[in-house]
Structure formats: structure tokens, C-alpha cells
Structure 1
Amino acid sequence: MNWPDLPCLAAVSSALATAVILAACHPGPDAAGTAAAASAPAAGPSASGAAIGVSTVSARQQDVAVTLSATGAVTPLSSVEVRPQVTSVIDKVHIREGQFVKAGDLLFTLDSRTNEALVAQAQAQVAKDQATLADAQRQLQRSRELLAQNFISQGQVDANQAAVDSAAALVQADRAALSAARVALSYAKVTAPSAGRVGTINVYAGTAVQANTTPLLTITQLQPIAIAFSLPQRHLADALGALPGGGAQVSANLPDGGATRQGRLKFVDNQVDSASGTVKVKAVFDNDDGKLWPGAFVTVNMTARTLRDAVVVPQASIIQGSRGDIVYVVQNGQAAARPVQVAYSQGDDAVVSGVKAGERIVLEGRQNLRPGATVVERSHEGNSAVAASGAQSKASAP
């Protein structure tokens, strides 16, 4: 740059500054309009009274099954611990662990030589006393004949009669002792008291066992089988009422995702647990495939009762307030607050009283409503179709 050009630059800068000042003092029409729009208050629905868009669903009337969910435990209908009834030694084991047995099947054989000897001794005693009785009866018969001929006195006949009666009583006692000996001998064969699956066998051949003390094994019934769980006290009347008709229907689901099992409620305990406010119940299930195993935990669902012709609305439409629950009902294009009472809720639905079947209930947009507000209603069921058609229109637009 040449120093002689400096006066020209100063002149140009002065001219530009003058132009900026004039533009600020005299704004154009576009700038004035923009400033006015920015300074004006925003107009909303509350200020202008515009309608509020909401989605609605119809309150429907239907039968609703009151279903209770709980965690239950599989329990056998019977589980018997087998013990010997005599003190002896195991002679032979006739079954294996895990085997299924029927009632009366032979499980163990005990050493029975001592009891066999006792039975033989009792039989011999019976035979001896029967011979004594027979002799006493012959003596009585002869004494009666001699009495008829006046060769002996009546007292002799009475003495012979007493001997016969004593011998007869002794024979009866011997027979009772023989029966007892035979019962003790029968204990040498240990049989299954019920049908079921054999558990762990605790003894082997040669093991000494004590009467009514040594556990031999446990037999557990698996078919049918029971599931025990607890019901809230408020459903006690429903459970008791269902028992005479075969029991309420109960379904069970195993944790491994197996098929749902169907059973029936068969037992209700005779008292309510004061600590938990629940009552213990049992349901019986078929277990042909043996999937229900004693001690396993399952998820139980029981149909306590059925609410006939109940009015059902979505739970999401219910607004909880300090004065109770309400829903908004659309009437003549306006929102009306309707108090409701929830009788039962399950999943996304709730059974309520206070609304009628067919009334339009506000589902989405209820947070913006006030009683009497004007609404623009759209069906919640048709939202997906409306959205799809709108997307198609946008896709076809240039």
C-alpha cells in the first residue's frame, strides 16, 4: 500500500459508518414485522379456547375371570417312611432305588428263623392242649353215664365239666398265641404300604435293624400329585364355595417353560395365618409324565370367581387423585370427569363401576384436560391405521 492512499481509505470508512447509523434509525418494514412478532405473546389452547386432541376407547362389557397368581410348592399326596416292625437282620433286598412299586409289593426279607420256631412251638402247644381237651370231654361223657346209673355223685360230673371248660379256654389261648406268632413271622416280609417311587435305600443285606426305629426307605406318591400355595383371606369364601363343585380350576407353570398343567382345588386349611393373612390350600394335578417333582416351585394361577357382565376400561385411563379415582368421558365433544371405583385389575385392564358400557373413555391426552374442556376425539384403536396412511401420503408427495 502507498502512503498517498490513506486519505481515500479514511473517506470510505466514514461513509460506511454513516450508512449503518441511518439503517438503525430507520428500520425497514420486514424488520419491524419480525420484532413485533417476537414481542407478541404466544397464543395457546387455554388462551384461544382451541379444542384438545385426545384418543379414546370404548368401555366394554364382558365376563372377567378373577385370577390369583402365587408361587406354589409341589407336594406328594402321601410319602411313607418304611421301618421294620421287628428287630432282625436284613436277609434280602428285593427292590432298587428309584423303582416304582405298587401297594403290597415285596421290598425286604428279614431273617425269620426265630419267628418260625416260635410259630412251630405255638402250633405244638395248641395240639397238646387240644388232646387234653379231648380227654376231658371223654371223661365228662363217662361221668354222665355213671351218674345215670347212680354210680357217682353229681359233684364228680361237675368237676369233669369244669375240667373240660378249662381245657377249652386253654386251647383258645394257645390259638391266640399262635396267631400272634404268625403275625410276628409275617413282619419278616416288608411290603410296600402304598404305590409310589422308592427313594434312597438305607440298608443292605446283612444290616441289623431295630423294630420301629431303623428307616429302610421312603415311598413317595407321584401320580396324582398336589401343589400347595396360599390364598389371601379375602378369597377364602370363593375357595370354600368352589370345593363342593369339584374345586376351582388351577393352572401351574414350571420355571423351565414347560406346558401349562390344569388341576383342581381340593383342600382348604382350617385356619387363617394371623401373621400373613393367608390360608393354605392344595390343588391336585395329574402327573402322568412325572414332570411335577416333589419340592419343586411352580407359578400357580387360580380362577377364584367370574365377574359377570363387568365394565372394563384400560388401567392407563384411570387418574388417581386425592379424592379418588376418575376417568374422563367424552360427551357432546367435551370432557366430563367421572368418579369410578376399581373392583378388580389385571394386566392392562380394570373392572370399574361408575361408567357404562359403550361410553368413550379418554386414554391419551387426559393430562391436558379439565372438566368441560372441548376435545377433538380420535379412536385409539385406529391410531396405527391413521399413522400408516399418513406415512404413505408423505411418501407419495413430491
Structure 2
Amino acid sequence: MSMKPIPRLAGLLAACSALALAASQGCSKKDQGPPQRPPMSVKTVPSVQMDVPIVIDTFGHTKDRMSINVVPQVSGKLIQTFIADGAVVTNGQPLFLIDPSDYAARVRQAEAAVAADQANLELSRLTLERNRPLLEKGMISTENFDTLKTRVEAAAAQLQADQAALEKANLDLSRCTIVATISGICSKRYLDDGNLVAAGQTLLTNIRNYDPMYVDFSMSEQYLPLIRQALAEGAVRIDITPRGDTNSYTGTLDFVDNAVDLQTGSILLRGLVPNPDLKLWAQQFADVRVQAGLVRDAVMTPESAVQLGKQGAYLFVIADDNKAELRPVKTGVRYNNLIQAEGLRPGERVAVLGQLMLYPGAVVADVSQSKP
């Protein structure tokens, strides 16, 4: 009897055992289901409920509140300058001096004319009074007496005219000293001493008043009802930050134009900003923030949490079981990197980091709650 088939049978049995083992392992893996995804790391911030100012951001430029060209009111030779280029001056401060010699002589001449007129008037009155008794006695005619009365009236009129001329001469003499009519900062001087100046024509310098400072800016007409309502309730605060300056300066809204620009759909506004330290300069570009009201009990969340989809704005709320919920929201006012989110409740955890990879129902690990 041959024994050769025995090794073949043993090999066949071993192969069957291996297949059975593999099949049993495969069934075990199917029973375990699909592999679980690890939790997604996110950072959350709780939403907060607060009163939020309605802020409108725009830009504009600073403007001096008042600008005066310094021009002489009398002609003559400029003999002295009392200020340096760019000087800070106060109202009434002397700036320039025009040679007063000619005008002083005119004053003396006018004074002499007034003195002569006073003497002539006094003589005319005495003559009139001396002839009054003669008229009563019929020793002079009424016509001659009327002539004496006319001389008194003419002398009085001449005195008034020369007194006015004296006032004009004194005024011209005082105008030889040119003074600042406003407080502010001077430009450069446009003329050196020794030059002749013409009344009402020669520009000597310019003075700009910088305290307070105007700020001109514009905004879309859609904000006009909001601005008008805020003005009706009281002063409207503005904050400006000049370009290149890290400081902000606070003022109030001072003016709203009476018409909307048809070409741009915007409206011109002006703010008034105190500037006692003269840190603001005219014609500076500045970012302008207008606080046009207050939203009460707004639910706010970081702007980075809000995403935009086909259905509008949404964000991810992390529930107590650390699962992500997609929550549609309606956005509102913005303030200090926060945004109003209607549809969100106060205190709910909102994903602000790692939210771009989230999906509804995703399990998350909130790293903001992990201990260091």
C-alpha cells in the first residue's frame, strides 16, 4: 500500500485552516464598524451680551477753524517785524510796524485844525451874543443877525469835520502797528523789512487758528437717518486718528450738509475737535470714527468666528457634549473686533480657531479649556 498521498492531505488541511482563520479575522473587523475620527482641535470664546455703540468708520481731513491773511490797512515802509516764521501768536499781539512818521505828522496837522475850529466857533458864538441886544433895539437888521447865526453853525460843522479827520489820522497812526486779529500759528513772512507795502494789497503773513480744529469727512447717505436721530438725542461723539499718528483725538459732530451729493451718494459732515496742545495740523488725512447711537443688549462674538456661505452668515457653536453645531446668524453692528450675531445666545461657546475644517456634528477638543 502506497503512503505518498498523506503529505498532500496534510498540506490541504493546513491551507483550509489558514483560510478559516483569515475569514474569522475579517468578520471580526467588520463587526467593529468604520474607524472613528479623532476629535478636531478648536479654540472657543463665549458670546457676550452688552450695550454696543453704533460706530461708523470713514476718513477725512483736518481743517483750520479760521484763516486770516495779514494785510496792512495803511501804506508805507515796513520798518520792523516782531515775529519769526511759524510763530504762535495771540489775539492783539504786534506783528509788524510800518513807518509812522508821516501818519504822526497828519495827526498833529489834524489837531491844529481842530484847535483853530474851536477858536473860530467860540468867536462866532461871542459875536452872535454881542449882537443879540442890538437886534432887540433895532440897531442891526434881522438879515445881518441871521448871517451871524449861520457863521456859528458853519463853524460848528467845520469843527465836526476836522474832529472826524483827527480821528481818522489817529486811526491810521494806530494801524501802523499791525496786530494779530486771531490767535493761531503764522505762516512764513512774505516780505522783509525795508519794503514798501500797499494798503489792502500786500500780503505779509497768514494766521491759522487751530484750536479747536475742524475735521471734514463724508459718509454714505444710508447713514443719514441714523446721524440725524443721534443728533436729535444729543451730542454725537467722533474720534479721529491722523495718518501716521498713534493717538486719537475726541470731538463732536458740528455740521451736516443740507444736501446729498448726487454723483457720489454721500453727504458732507464736519467735526469739531479741541486742540489746545496744537498736535493737530491743517490738511492732515485722518481716520474718523463716528459713534452714532447705542444698541442695547446685543449678543457679540469675535468677527473671526463668522463665515459666509450660500445661505448667508453662519458660525459653529460648540455644545456641552463637544459637538459642533452649524448656526445661521444675522450680523449687525461691529465694535472692537466683535460683531453682533442675532441667533446666538449669551454665553454659548463659539469656535474662533480651527472652525474652517468643522462640519455639523463634528466632535471637537476645546483647547481653550485645556489646562497648561
- Specify the TM-score bucket, using the shorter chain as the normaliser: 0.7 to 0.9
Contact 1:55 1:365 in 2 (8 A): no
* Alignment partner of 1:111 out of 99, 109, 118: 99
Q: Deviations over 1:338-378 (max 9, x none)?
A: 65432223454321334444556676378523xxxxx4776
Contact 1:233 1:279 in 2 (8 A): no
| 1:217 partner letter | T
Alignment CA distance shift 1:102-1:331 (3 Å): closer
Q: Deviations over 1:132-168 (max 9, x none)?
A: 2222212221221112222223333222222211221
The alignment partner of 2:135 has SS state of helix
How large is the Cα RMSD of the aligned pairs? 4.1
1:162 maps to which residue? 150
Q: Deviations over 1:86-123 (max 9, x none)?
A: 22210111222232222111111112333233323322
CA distance in 2, matches of 1:293, 1:332: 55
Contact 1:231 1:281 in 2 (8 A): no
2:55 maps to which residue? 67
What is the aligned length? 356
Confirm whether residue 140 of structure 1 aligns to residue 128 of structure 2: yes
The alignment partner of 2:85 has SS state of coil
CA distance in 2, matches of 1:291, 1:55: 42
In the TM superposition, 1:328-367 aligns within 5 A as 340-346=329-335, 348-358=337-347, 364=355
* Alignment partner of 1:383 out of 353, 367, 370: 367
| 1:285 partner letter | P
Confirm whether residue 284 of structure 1 aligns to residue 273 of structure 2: yes
CA distance in 1, matches of 2:201, 2:52: 55
TM-aligned CA deviation for residue 326 of structure 1: 4.8
In structure 2, stretches of 5+ residues that fail to align are 1-13
1:90 maps to which residue? 78
Q: So what's the TM-score if we normalise by structure 2?
A: 0.77
TM-aligned CA deviation for residue 190 of structure 1: 0.7
Alignment CA distance shift 1:252-1:193 (3 Å): same
1:20 maps to which residue? none
Contact 1:319 1:325 in 2 (8 A): yes
CA distance in 1, matches of 2:41, 2:91: 73
* Alignment partner of 1:187 out of 151, 164, 175: 175
1:176 maps to which residue? 164
Contact 2:43 2:368 in 1 (8 A): no
Confirm whether residue 198 of structure 1 aligns to residue 186 of structure 2: yes
* Alignment partner of 2:298 out of 303, 306, 310: 310
* Alignment partner of 1:120 out of 98, 102, 108: 108
CA distance in 1, matches of 2:188, 2:233: 39
Q: Which deviates the most, 300-309 or 243-252?
A: 243-252
2:284 maps to which residue? 296
Confirm whether residue 268 of structure 1 aligns to residue 256 of structure 2: yes
TM-aligned CA deviation for residue 216 of structure 1: 0.5
Identity %: 30
TM-aligned CA deviation for residue 44 of structure 1: 8.3
The alignment partner of 2:124 has SS state of helix
| 2:269 partner letter | K
The alignment partner of 1:283 has SS state of strand
TM-aligned CA deviation for residue 53 of structure 1: 10
* Alignment partner of 1:368 out of 341, 359, 363: 359
Q: Deviations over 1:268-298 (max 9, x none)?
A: 344433333132312312332x332333333
Contact 2:55 2:334 in 1 (8 A): no
Q: So what's the TM-score if we normalise by structure 1?
A: 0.73
TM-aligned CA deviation for residue 124 of structure 1: 2.5
Q: Deviations over 1:298-344 (max 9, x none)?
A: 33333222211112244455454455445566899898876543222
CA distance in 2, matches of 1:211, 1:33: 115
In the TM superposition, 1:187-226 aligns within 5 A as 187-226=175-214
Alignment CA distance shift 1:245-1:91 (3 Å): farther
TM-aligned CA deviation for residue 207 of structure 1: 0.8
Contact 1:267 1:281 in 2 (8 A): yes
CA distance in 2, matches of 1:55, 1:96: 61
The alignment partner of 1:185 has SS state of helix
